[in-house]
Amino acid sequence: MSAAAFAHPQQVAALYAEHHGWLRSWLRRRLDNAADAADLAHDTFVRLLASRTQHRFDSVGEARAYLRTTAQNLCINQWRRQEIERAWLDTLAATPEEHYPSAERQAIVLQALEEISAMLHSLSPKAARAFTLALICDMTDDEVGAELGVSGRMVRKYVAQAMTACLTLHARQTALELRHDLAP
Supply the pLDDT for residue 68. Answer: 93
Q: For the chain, what are the domain ranges? A: 4-86, 123-182
Supply the pLDDT for residue 173. Answer: 81
pLDDT in tens, 90-127: 988 999 988 888 888 888 888 888 888 889 989 999 99
How far apart are alpha carbons 114 and 124 in whole angstroms? Answer: 17
CATH class belonging to 4-86: mainly alpha
pLDDT in tens, 34-45: 999 999 999 999
* Crossing angle for the helix pair 34-50 and 60-93, to the nearest 10 degrees: 120
Supply the pLDDT for residue 58. Answer: 79
CATH class belonging to 123-182: mainly alpha
Supply the pLDDT for residue 1. Answer: 43
Supply φ then ψ for residue 149, to 5 degrees. Answer: 75, 35
Whether residue 156 contacts residue 141, with contact meaning beta carbons closer than 8 Å, is answered with: yes
Supply the pLDDT for residue 100. Answer: 87
Supply the pLDDT for residue 134. Answer: 93
Dihedral in degrees, nearest 10, Cα atoms 90, 91, 92, 96: 120
Which residues of the chain fall below pLDDT 50?
A: 1-6
Supply the pLDDT for residue 49. Answer: 82
